[in-house]
Chains A and B, each alone.
Chain A
């Protein structure tokens, strides 16, 4: 059974309010906002990559204000330690007795902003691995569950590479989406100048409570994923492997390792969220197509020749989406869709 028209419409309205408010704060970034919201509704983590000053941090801060959730921010630096994130045991005296008491780190929150995540050492970055995947933290042999929901919204700067530590593949794979934040058009810049005094964003009030969010999560999970569409998503991921028979030429040439099954899971979850945002009770081929690039691009391990030829993950995924037909068999060659 699918969700009722009314429930889907109600969920769509809530999402529309959220995205509307975000668009009011971040101008000219509709696609970025849609992708971030889709990942949020799919309970996935997001890595925002872009040049400084494009509003990455501002978007996450705005999101935290709109959602009535606990929000923490960690500014990643080279001397940041894992315990600065997860928390540590501190020797304390209580009732004349000394004991180690655990002090929670900033990871114990609902919405964690990991600003400039690639500036921390790999040891510190890896402190987030367990937290992001299993939503728990283990210190001194004690495992502690993180609050629900738990999102990591990280940012990184693609050009300042000195003194940075690129995220390892295992860390990247934990992010549902890697959203590339592009620059804005001149008209948007003009609008920013006119409407923002000293660049301050408009004041925001929470519009989604934790209960609303939980309801939306349940609604997203109830969105029906037809088998034919799931087949399409699976074929997209399979085609990202150079050894696949369906792999297009760019994949065979530039990709060393294709996307993991986690990518397929991410596509399915994000496509459900997109479908709900579009007011549909089911996932369609179009939803899968839209989320394929942010979900797969950062999971591809490209050959060095890809960089030389100017191919990045997004371009390769676009080639995959173009080459893989929506229906497995494809239309007969003597037929042409109008």
Chain B
């Protein structure tokens, strides 16, 4: 090539660059199209299955730019050699072979020939990038469409599971805030809530709600038991105080009130509700001995009464707790306007034709007392009928009068003597005649 005139060498370099560019534009759109298609598929998958990847999906648009790297490497590997460039130049110049021949033989005698000048005056091939870019454009459109797909949120079951767990956790938090649960209880409840959430995350069905309701009911039950303990303690304290007043401020001689109070306080301590009491009160209650002097007894009675009142007040704020548990709330389903006539007396289950509202509780107690209204009447004893207990209803003329001991065939024969002859005179089908003869011949 170095033997060729400078102008031709320059032209060949231009052609080599143009060929490299063409080669790159041949390769790059394919990689870009493949990358964009893959990115589109990935975007679709993320839109449907991986919501967390949503913020990063816009970065998929850099795929065409990334495709430049492999395209450049491949273009470099497949680049046109010097011989290829010469052949291409010769072909573009009309295919006379002069350029190739002069370059191969390095024969400078032909450098000034008009033939070589004509061969070197080739035009660079025109770039037509759109031919190959079309697939990349289609792939880009696919990616755009994939990105335009709305992001699918977390699965409904997960959302519902979180909702259930959140609701339960808030209930527990409220109880904790009111100091109505012990740390052990709180830990156990949290574990139960997590288990419910995990199960519901896998699949939400009736059992998920039932488990949540069961936990709520347990909470309510525990709270009610604690409230009962508080009430019992307050009542036993009241009785103890009354007995003490009657005894002149001293502990009553009869130890029944003291024993009841001790038991009630013990029950209160078991429920963990004494954790919030003052230290003095806790010390007295832990010792299990009530003060013997009247002043100390009054003071204990006053402080315990105050504490129980406060504790009971906390329960009062949680009174609505149980009402929130059931998923079904009748007030959410008001009766249709104008249908009051069909509702009977308006009470659940006491309706008229429509049997009233359907939200009647499954209560037992308003039923008709069955044993009051219906008296048992014994039936006369049964008796098997005798075979002899019969009487003819009607006497048919010609009826057999023979003894019952007679066999059926003999009876039939005697009966035939009286009335059966008529049968023989009847037209009997030939196929029946033999059977009849055989029967009566016995």
Report which A residues bind B (CB closer than 8 A): 1-2, 4-5, 224, 226-229, 231, 275, 280-287, 289, 326-329, 331-338
Q: Is the CB of A334 within 8 A of B101?
A: no
The answer, yes or no, to whether B153 is at the interface (CB within 8 Å) is no
Question: Would you give the shortest CB distance from B418 to chain A, in whole angstroms?
Answer: 108
Given the known interface contacts A228-B83, A275-B97, the answer about A337 and B92 at a Cβ–Cβ threshold of 8 Å is yes
Q: Is the CB of B100 within 8 A of A289?
A: no
Q: In whole angstroms, what is the CA distance A280 to B98 when docked? A: 8
Q: Is the CB of B80 within 8 A of A329?
A: yes
Identify the stretch in B21-29, B138-146, B229-237 within 8 Å (CB) of chain A at 4 or more residues.
B21-29
Q: In whole angstroms, what is the CA distance A119 to B86 when docked? A: 50
Given the known interface contacts A333-B26, A335-B127, the answer about A282 and B101 at a Cβ–Cβ threshold of 8 Å is yes
The answer, yes or no, to whether B257 is at the interface (CB within 8 Å) is no
**Chain B residue contacts of A281, Cβ below 8 A:** 98, 101, 110
**Chain B residue contacts of A335, Cβ below 8 A:** 18-19, 22, 125-128
**Chain B residue contacts of A338, Cβ below 8 A:** 123-126
**Chain A residue contacts of B95, Cβ below 8 A:** 284-286, 289, 326
Nearest neighbor of B27 in chain A, beta-carbon distance = A332
**Chain B residue contacts of A336, Cβ below 8 A:** 125-128
Q: Given B25, B97, B102, which contacts A285 in the complex, CB threshold below 8 Å? A: B97
Interface string of B1-42 (1 = CB under 8 A from A): 000000000000000001100110110000000000000000
Q: Is the CB of A228 within 8 A of B22?
A: no
Q: Is the CB of B113 within 8 A of A5?
A: yes
In the complex, besides A284-B96, A285-B97, 8 extra interface pairs with C-beta distance below 8 angstroms are A2-B107, A226-B90, A285-B90, A327-B88, A332-B23, A337-B92, A337-B123, A338-B124
Q: In whole angstroms, what is the CA distance A285 to B94 when docked? A: 8
The answer, yes or no, to whether B109 is at the interface (CB within 8 Å) is yes
Given the known interface contacts A1-B107, A331-B88, the answer about A280 and B115 at a Cβ–Cβ threshold of 8 Å is yes
Q: In whole angstroms, what is the CA distance A275 to B22 when docked? A: 32
Q: Is the CB of B97 within 8 A of A229?
A: yes
**Chain B residue contacts of A328, Cβ below 8 A:** 84, 87
Q: In whole angstroms, what is the CA distance A326 to B109 when docked? A: 26
Tell me the dominant secondary structure on chain A's binding face. Answer: loop
**Chain A residue contacts of B100, Cβ below 8 A:** 226-229, 282
3 closest A-B pairs (Cβ-Cβ)? A285-B95, A284-B97, A332-B22
The answer, yes or no, to whether B352 is at the interface (CB within 8 Å) is no
Q: Is the CB of A327 within 8 A of B87?
A: yes
Q: In whole angstroms, what is the CA distance A327 to B125 when docked? A: 14
B: interface residue count bin: 35 or more
Q: In whole angstroms, what is the CA distance A286 to B83 when docked? A: 18
Question: Would you give the shortest CB distance from A257 to chain B, in whole angstroms?
Answer: 29
Q: Is the CB of B125 within 8 A of A227?
A: no
Q: Is the CB of B131 within 8 A of A333?
A: yes
**Chain B residue contacts of A333, Cβ below 8 A:** 22, 26, 128, 131-132
**Chain A residue contacts of B102, Cβ below 8 A:** 2
**Chain A residue contacts of B109, Cβ below 8 A:** 2, 4-5
The answer, yes or no, to whether B222 is at the interface (CB within 8 Å) is no
Nearest neighbor of B22 in chain A, beta-carbon distance = A332
Question: Would you give the shortest CB distance from B41 to chain A, in whole angstroms?
Answer: 26
**Chain A residue contacts of B128, Cβ below 8 A:** 333-336
Question: Would you give the shortest CB distance from B231 to chain A, in whole angstroms?
Answer: 91
Q: Is the CB of A282 within 8 A of B98?
A: yes
**Chain B residue contacts of A329, Cβ below 8 A:** 80, 84
- 23 residue pairs bridging A and B, Cβ less than 8 Å apart: A1-B105, A2-B101, A2-B109, A5-B110, A226-B101, A280-B97, A282-B96, A282-B98, A282-B100, A283-B101, A284-B95, A285-B90, A286-B96, A286-B97, A327-B87, A329-B84, A332-B19, A332-B26, A334-B132, A335-B22, A335-B126, A336-B126, A338-B126
**Chain A residue contacts of B83, Cβ below 8 A:** 227-228
The answer, yes or no, to whether B210 is at the interface (CB within 8 Å) is no
Q: In whole angstroms, what is the CA distance A333 to B26 when docked? A: 6
Q: Is the CB of A284 within 8 A of B113?
A: no
Q: In whole angstroms, what is the CA distance A337 to B92 when docked? A: 7
**Chain A residue contacts of B97, Cβ below 8 A:** 226, 228-229, 275, 280, 282-287
Q: Is the CB of B127 within 8 A of A334?
A: yes
**Chain A residue contacts of B87, Cβ below 8 A:** 228, 231, 326-328
Q: Given B101, B113, B125, which contacts A337 in the complex, CB threshold below 8 Å? A: B125
Given the known interface contacts A332-B23, A332-B26, A335-B126, the answer about A285 and B131 at a Cβ–Cβ threshold of 8 Å is no
